[in-house]
Amino acid sequence: MEGTHRVVSGGGRRIHLVEQGAGPLVLLVHGFPESWYSWRHQLPVLAAAGYRAVAIDVRGYGRSGGPADPDAYRMAELVEDNAFVVRALGEETAVVVGHDWGSVIAANSALLRPDVFRAVGLLSVPYAPRGGPRPSDVFAGMGGEEFYVSYFQEAGRAEAEIEPDVRGWLAGFYAAFSGDTLPGPGAPDPHFVGAGGTLKERFPAGRLPGWLGERDLDVYAGEFERTGLTGALNRYRNMDRDWEDLAAYDGAAITQPSLFAGGGLDASTTWLADAIAAYPVTLPGLVSSHLLDGCGHWIQQERPDEINELLVGWLDALPAV
């Protein structure tokens, strides 16, 4: 895949990105535990369709800055990172598309900076407005076992599990939430940690998902072996801060043109089915919503051709810049 790597920096921000093509700017924001490389199938297709496609490393990942202060990973900072990238690239506006945590970051970018982000595409994780109880209280009440988000929120705990074998852990994590390698019926749910246990105990072993080649895994593992996982995990450690920071946006709708696509086998879409059902209220600018049968969580990598077709069709139909 051809593409230009560059770093934009200023005002204490340092963001690594890969760009391809010319035309209206489309900013691509990855999730956990990934990198700009998650968009390797989208960059050339969007470029060929007449767009300037830019995939970033979110702060704490890859070659982007990774502040030591956990507070630096709050949502408001990540939104401003995105706006900074748009300005640094000499643009005034962009379409923002995100996957997993990137979907949440993209949604909040559109919500907090409508002056910059004129449309938003959401993959895998639906938009759910800020509201309800404090997130840590919600996750603490999810059944008799510990939810993975709570597990990730404790500083150093997940790192102790992951970092001795980054490549093996990533392979298991990707497999646990892929459509073709999900744990079978009756298997312990890998979203939860048993008492005194670890997440990896519930990962399927011995087989990579079809979308993930050995070279792809090498790319992901190489980045996290170099940076560690703390920067990435700090996103989970700011969910209560975000809930406090975004109080003024309680229940707020995103009005820009939007697109949603999720996997039919992804717990992000099944658990948040009510959020999808609420889109007429919460995403009044929604152009289309799609659930891909048999697809897991890593949607733009599991089903790149389908996602590329959806994205290009949606982008082509947006009002001209």
Taking residues 53-57, what's their average pLDDT?
98
**Count of domains forming the chain:** 1
Cα–Cα nearest to 261, from 99, 39, 56: 99
CB–CB of 16/57 below 8 Å?
Answer: yes
For 278-296, what is each residue's pLDDT tens digit? 999 999 999 999 999 999 9
- Report the percentage of the chain scoring pLDDT > 90: 93
> N- to C-terminal Cα distance for the chain?
27
CB–CB of 20/53 below 8 Å?
Answer: yes
Does the pLDDT at position 253 exceed 80? yes
Taking residues 239-264, what's their average pLDDT?
97
CA R_g for the chain: 18
Taking residues 219-229, what's their average pLDDT?
97
Taking residues 163-173, what's their average pLDDT?
97
Query: What is the pLDDT at residue 233?
Result: 98
Predicted TM-score (pTM) of the model is 0.98
Going by pLDDT thresholds of 50, 70 and 90, the confidence category of residue 126 is: very high
Going by pLDDT thresholds of 50, 70 and 90, the confidence category of residue 196 is: confident
Round to whole Å and give the CA distance between 22 and 20: 7
Taking residues 52-70, what's their average pLDDT?
97
Q: What is the residue-averaged pLDDT of the chain?
A: 96
Q: Which positions ≥6 away from 39 have C-beta within 8 Å?
A: 18, 28, 30, 53, 55, 300
**47-51, 141-145, 190-194, 236-240: least confident range:** 141-145
Catalytic residue annotation: 100, 297
Query: What is the pLDDT at residue 1?
Result: 56
Query: What is the pLDDT at residue 76?
Result: 97
String of DSSP letters for 200-249: GGGS--S---TT--HHHHHHHHHHHHHH-SHHHHTTGGGHHHHHHHTGGG
Question: Domain residues for 239?
Answer: 4-317
CATH code for the domain of 230: 3.40.50.1820
